[in-house]
């Protein structure tokens, strides 16, 4: 299993967290904005195909990598780029758990973090906890 990078966006579309592990291609200028637009477009496409109108976008597979997506009802979105063989349903569960365990503990309960527009996660504890979490889930 290989993870390349992770982006977390808030409901304003700001990239509040970015981390990379094994990527071999350097990030380009403005890539976070491109990822934000990419996942927004696909989420919208999914809702237009859906009978319920709510959609539900899980993953994009390409010959070289796979992008996994999950979002909370409060509007936090995560895009996780991994190697192409990581199972979608496995990662969906992991990302849900990431929000309810790691994100909740180290970001939501952090008194120094305010959930306002443009506010980036500066705490190093969240990044370290995320690494440990992914290691414990055996995908890193």
Partner 1 sequence: MTVHLLWIINQSGQLIAKSSFTAQNSIGELGAKPDLQLTMSSILFSTFGMSQELTPNANPVDSAGMTLLEFAEHNVHIYETPSLVKFVLVSDHHTYECNALFRQLHSLYVEYVVKNPFNIIDEGGIGQPIRIPAFTEAVKEAVDKYHSHTQQPAVKR
Q: Which residues bind partner 1 (CB under 8 A)?
A: 4-5, 20, 22-25, 28, 31, 34-35, 37-38, 41-42, 45-65, 67, 81, 83, 88
Q: Which is nearer to partner 1, 48 or 116 (CB)?
A: 48
C-beta of 138: minimal distance to partner 1 in Å?
A: 20
In angstroms, rounded to a whole number, what is the distance separating the alpha carbons of residues 133 and 78? 15
Q: Which is nearer to partner 1, 36 or 113 (CB)?
A: 36
In angstroms, rounded to a whole number, what is the distance separating the alpha carbons of residues 76 and 25? 26
C-beta of 65: minimal distance to partner 1 in Å?
A: 6
Phi, psi angle pair for 4, to nearest 5°? -100, -55
| Residues in Cβ contact with 21 at an 8 Å cutoff, skipping those fewer than 6 apart | 2, 3, 4, 5, 140
C-beta of 43: minimal distance to partner 1 in Å?
A: 9
Q: Which is nearer to partner 1, 28 or 116 (CB)?
A: 28
Residue of 103, 102, 35 lying closest to 69 (CA atoms): 35
């Amino acid at each position: 299993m290989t993870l390349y990078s992770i982006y977390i966006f808030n409901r304003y579309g700001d990239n509040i967290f970015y981390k990379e592990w094994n990527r071999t291609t350097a990030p380009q200028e403005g890539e976070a904005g491109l990822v934000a637009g990419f996942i927004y477009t696909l989420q919208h496409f999914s809702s237009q195909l859906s009978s319920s109108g709510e959609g539900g976008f899980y993953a994009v597979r390409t010959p070289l990598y796979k992008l996994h997506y999950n979002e909370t009802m409060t509007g936090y979105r995560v895009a996780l780029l991994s190697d192409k063989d990581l199972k979608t349903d496995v990662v969906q569960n992991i990302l849900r758990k990431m929000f309810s365990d790691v994100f909740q503990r180290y970001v939501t309960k952090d008194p120094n973090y305010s959930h306002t527009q443009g506010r980036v996660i500066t705490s190093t504890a969240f990044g370290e906890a995320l690494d440990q979490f992914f290691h414990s889930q055996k995908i890193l």
